[in-house]
């Protein structure tokens, strides 16, 4: 089945390239007039990733390790990534020191240490990724989502610095007009300049955001030392690959409703599959459940309740609902002033949101797998979650979602299930 990898890469790439000839009236194409010279090169990245995967498949180093050794190899690799991240953070602090002469020796030493660690990462990453691919493949098979023991498409991912995404939304309603991938090397100043250019020229709300993964093939995933997060993201992006071979995924960008249906489905699937991988192969990383109230001591029960904690998701949910209400009354400027005021509230509670606007909600509101959050009261996410609760298994849920071509289809399906 390894020969399917380059074949599927060409298939997915041909779809992306074929969809590039869009009329200029398309909002995304109007935005691209500002981004063409700085857009991420997916073609080159994909061929490089495919080559890495083919080379690793030919070596098959992971096959010489038993199951316990494979999991330990991944643990050791994650520790290496963590060491690199801490070194990079320390280097950033040294570079920020205004008295560079006093830290010059430390900076040079740390750069040399990081260079050695980078070399180790290049050597170990393909093996660690192959192990995780095999482990996730086994878990996906447990969910009855494999054909003859093989995931379709085969699970392939590559850890890499990710492109940024320029999100553009209308100002009078939260609706994603464009989602364009940008080069990884762009600076914050370049992000801000681009946002301002597009916003002023096209009267749109704009924001450049980071992403955790991209559903290319192989999947692009950010390099991370958090294995729980990594397992969820890899599973999320594989779900996108699974859906891309079916109507729901093929129509991902046709409407905001379909985008939300795709992302919410992938979030639900990613969390379930990722959690199952951790439970099976890395049980020490399973999050500890909260202790029930009955287990508290009498002394604890008698103590005064703690001060209320700022609930980010609940506060963001309330913000979105208020913004939607203002925009529905055509109070665009008032809604924008309100979002800026709310951004300052989040800042005061430790959440460094650079810009809170319609584009922010257009992007983050697509991930509507929880009842509260930036999606507000969007009925699409509610319907997807309801279908999951009415499905006996994750496989049944995905099989029901995959052929849908509109939100109306989803509503009709739920109505039929309720009869």
Do residues 209 and 164 touch, judged by C-beta distance below 8 A?
A: yes
Supply 375's token pair: 């999606």
Regions of the chain where pLDDT drops below 70: 1-25, 290-307, 419
Judgement on whether residues 29 and 163 belong to the same structural domain of the protein: yes
CA gap 56, 33 in Å, rounded: 39
Q: What is the pLDDT of residue 377?
A: 81
Secondary structure (3-state) at 338 = helix
Q: Does residue 219 share a domain with residue 178? A: yes
Burial of 330 (0-12, 13-18, 19+ CB in 10 A): exposed
Q: Which helix (H) or strand (E) holds 317?
A: helix 312-328
Query: Is there a domain that residue 69 lies in?
Result: yes
97 C-beta neighbours (distance < 10 Å), count: 13
Residues 351 and 205 in one domain: no
In a domain, 302, yes or no: no
**Per-residue pLDDT, 368:** 79
105 lies in which domain range?
4-284
What was the pLDDT predicted at 23? Answer: 42
Beta strands in 7-89 (DSSP E): none
Task: Examine residue 292 and state whether it is found in any structural domain, yes or no.
Answer: no
Distance (Å, rounded) from C-alpha 399 to C-alpha 36?
37
Query: Rounded to whole angstroms, how far apart are CA atoms 25 and 31?
Result: 11
Which residues, in sequence order, are CB contacts of 101 under 8 Å at separation 6+? none
Q: Considering the domain boundaries, does residue 294 fall inside one? A: no
| pLDDT given for residue 64 in this prediction | 85
Contact call for residues 4 and 145 (beta carbons, < 8 A): no
pLDDT at 292: 52
240-263 burial, b at 16+ Cβ within 10 Å, e below that, comes to bbbbbeeebbebbeeebbbbbbbb
Q: What is the dihedral of CA 173, 174, 176, 181, to 10 degrees?
A: 130
Burial of residue 394 (number of CB atoms within 10 Å: 0-12, 13-18, 19+): buried
Dihedral over alpha carbons 93, 97, 101, 106 (to 10 degrees):
-20
* Residue 12 host element (H or E): helix 4-18
- Residue 276 shares a structural domain with residue 317: no
In a domain, 295, yes or no: no
* Residue 289 resides in a domain: no
pLDDT reported for residue 25? 61
Domain identity same for 270 and 174: yes
pLDDT for residue 8:
45
d(CA 133, CA 140): 10
Query: 275 and 355 in one domain?
Result: no
Does 376 lie in the same domain as 266?
Answer: no
> Are 279 and 316 contained in the same domain?
no
Contact 273, 394 (CB under 8 A): yes
Reading the block at residue 107, the tokens are 């900076």
- 265 falls within a domain: yes
Look at residue 43 in the predicted model and tell me its pLDDT.
94
Q: What pLDDT does 15 receive? A: 43
pLDDT at 418: 75
Helices (H), 143-255: 188-202, 227-244, 247-250
Cα(221)–Cα(257) distance, integer angstroms = 25
Structurally, how many domains does the chain consist of?
2
Partners of 157 in beta bridges: 219
Same domain, 243 and 355: no
CA–CA dist 159, 334 (Å, integer): 42
Helix (H) or strand (E) holding 411: helix 407-418
Same domain, 265 and 317: no
Same domain, 135 and 36: yes
Q: Is 381 exposed, middle or buried (0-12, 13-18, 19+ CB in 10 A)?
A: buried
Phi, psi of 92 (to 5 degrees): -60, -40
The whole-number pLDDT of residue 5 equals 39
Residues 316 and 197 occupy one common structural domain: no
Q: Which helix (H) or strand (E) holds 219?
A: strand 219-221
Asked whether residue 297 is domain-assigned, the answer is no
Would you state the structure tokens that stand for residue 93, as one six-digit string? 């602090």
């Amino acid at each position: 089945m390894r020969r399917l990898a380059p074949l599927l890469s060409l298939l997915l790439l041909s779809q992306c390239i074929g969809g590039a000839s869009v009329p200029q009236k398309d909002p995304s194409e109007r935005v691209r007039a500002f981004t063409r010279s700085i857009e991420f090169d997916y073609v080159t990245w994909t061929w490089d990733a495919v080559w890495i995967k083919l080379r690793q498949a030919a070596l098959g180093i992971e096959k010489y390790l038993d199951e316990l050794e494979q999991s330990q190899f991944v643990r050791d690799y994650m520790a290496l990534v963590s060491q690199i991240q801490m070194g990079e953070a320390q280097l950033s602090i040294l570079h920020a020191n205004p008295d560079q002469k006093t830290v010059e020796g430390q900076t040079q030493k740390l750069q040399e240490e990081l260079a050695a660690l980078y070399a180790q990462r290049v050597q170990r990453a393909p093996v660690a990724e192959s192990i995780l691919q095999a482990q996730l493949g086994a878990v996906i098979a447990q969910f009855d989502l494999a054909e003859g023991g093989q995931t379709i498409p085969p699970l392939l991912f590559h850890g890499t610095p990710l492109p940024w995404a320029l999100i553009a939304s209308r100002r009078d309603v939260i609706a994603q007009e464009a989602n364009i991938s940008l080069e990884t090397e762009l600076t914050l100043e370049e992000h801000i300049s681009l946002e301002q250019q597009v916003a002023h020229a096209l009267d749109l709300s704009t924001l450049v955001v980071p992403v955790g993964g991209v559903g290319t093939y192989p999947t692009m995933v950010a390099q991370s030392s958090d294995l729980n997060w990594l397992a969820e993201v890899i599973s999320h992006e594989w779900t996108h690959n699974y859906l891309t071979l079916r109507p729901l995924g093929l129509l991902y960008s046709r409407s905001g409703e379909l985008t939300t249906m795709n992302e919410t489905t992938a979030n639900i699937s990613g969390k379930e599959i990722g959690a199952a991988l951790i439970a099976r192969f890395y049980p020490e990383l399973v999050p500890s459940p909260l202790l029930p109230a009955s287990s508290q001591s009498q002394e604890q029960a008698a103590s005064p309740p703690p001060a209320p904690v700022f609930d980010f998701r609940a506060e963001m949910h309330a913000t979105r609902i208020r913004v939607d209400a203002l925009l529905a009354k055509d109070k665009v400027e008032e809604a924008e002033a309100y979002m800026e005021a709310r951004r300052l509230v989040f800042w005061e509670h430790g959440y460094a949101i650079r810009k809170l606007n319609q584009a922010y909600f257009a992007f983050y509101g697509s991930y509507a797998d929880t009842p509260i959050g930036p999606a507000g009261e969007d009925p699409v996410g509610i319907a997807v979650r309801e279908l999951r609760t009415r499905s006996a298994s994750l496989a049944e849920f995905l099989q029901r979602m995959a052929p849908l071509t509109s939100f109306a289809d989803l509503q009709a399906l739920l109505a039929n299930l309720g009869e």
